Amino acid sequence: MSDAVDLPVSGFALRIRSCFTGSSNQALQKISVERREGFALGSGITPRPPASVKRAQWPEPGLSLCPPSQVSRQKRPYLSCTGQVFCRYQDGETAMPLLQWREFKREIDALVTIYRQDNAWVGKWKGASWNFEFHMYHYIRAAFRLYRATAENRLKYVLLGGTEIRKNAEYILQFGVTAANGIQDDETVQGVSQADAFRTGVVTAPRAQAAVNPDNRIIQAQGGGSILSERGWTPILNDALIIGSATAQHDFVIALDQYEQGIWRECEASLKPHLARMHARYAGRFGGNPPESFLKNTEEYRLMVWQRFFSWNMQMFWDTKLNIPRVLTRELLGLSMFGYEVKLGDKQIGFKPNTNAPDPTFAAYVNGLRALRMHDSRARSNIMQALSTYLLGDNHAIGFTADQNTVHTPPITGGQPIQFV
């Protein structure tokens, strides 16, 4: 039996391992294996065992809160990024080196002008404008701390999404927050406190397998987690999250907040007539009665439901009140530049690294965003076409009705490979 703890998250079951306690806790194992698998497999996250562990001894795939040395990647298994210069992988191969402070600052210094020009609103912050060198230095320093901390992410993946996910107590409990520079919101501070109390309670409770696994370490919810919550946030710091995680070849997952989960349910309800037509087309299989689970796992349905979800939830990509792209758009475009592959699942989208992609750099990221004119709201059509091509393989799949007259080219397909899981 695996060391598994099941905790429902707003109706979307997540599967985590109880490695933050060092052993399993039978009292918490209350949901079936099938529900446990939902989040991990739906996002295409399937860690493999270390070479020293036989396959039969390794628990079923899922998410893990184990320390870095206990989890490995599917391709070029990742062990840890220590205080040394390089991230190292289990097969002995050396990945892209992590930048040291002087190298990091030198690379950012060369891009400061672009950051200031393309994010002029940060220069208007009263008492904290990065137009002053004093503040810019501290913003760069904060970004460096997060950049290095991402290499120690225990789960080896990052949750992306709206601001609500960093305030969601259930997400905080299961995934933890980065907090390399302190926690950003009061709600997050409260959620971390509750998560630490829960984890401590699991450790101190009687454990049936204590004799087999006496490890009773507690991994705190603050620091080394998967949810971004940082004081001193700037676009530089946010880019450091993407660059640092991509350098360590971590996975990324979009997490839906409660409002978005409601939109998803509405999308599925609106597609019931189409499911009925699909059922008729596939009647020749499964004894004339194809199960709904099969139909919903087809490429046709996955593309359709995600296209509808994105179209009904354009606010996740673009702030229509301010007419500016959201941070999530910046992050997803960064993943597209660094060769991440999209994995469309049931209620989740995962992004997996391509080991053959070029090494991620701040220069490539910033210049790529400038080429798309991320700083110019008049470029919304081009930005959304790039995002649409990346997520769904078609530049016409998602976009604003008001921009239709600016899309003069025929549908363009391509981008990173899309996999259906």
Give me the residue label for tokens 């750099």.
361
CB-neighbour burial class of residue 37 (10 A; exposed 0-12, middle 13-18, buried 19+)? middle
CA distances (Å), 366 to each of 240, 241, 337, 385, in order?
A: 11, 14, 10, 19
- Using one digit for the tens of pLDDT, what is the confidence trace for 8-47? 343 333 433 333 333 323 322 332 333 333 444 444 444 3
Mean pLDDT of 349-378: 94
Instruction: For residue 343, give the H/E element and its range.
Output: strand 341-344
Residue 263: its pLDDT value, please? Answer: 95
Tokens of 177: 């927050």
pTM of this prediction?
Answer: 0.77
Max Cα–Cα distance, the chain, nearest Å: 71
Mean pLDDT of 294-312: 93
Decide: 95 and 88 in contact? Cβ < 8 Å.
yes
CB-neighbour burial class of residue 294 (10 A; exposed 0-12, middle 13-18, buried 19+)? middle
Mean pLDDT of the chain: 78
Boundaries of every domain in the chain: 258-420
- pLDDT band per the 50, 70, 90 thresholds, residue 311: very high
- pLDDT band per the 50, 70, 90 thresholds, residue 4: very low
Decide: 152 and 200 in contact? Cβ < 8 Å.
no
Is residue 250 scored above 60 in pLDDT? yes
Residue 411: its pLDDT value, please? Answer: 54
Residue 136: its pLDDT value, please? Answer: 98
Is residue 266 scored above 80 in pLDDT? yes
Separation of alpha carbons 60 and 206, rounded Å: 25
Pair type for strands 94-97 and 12-17: unpaired
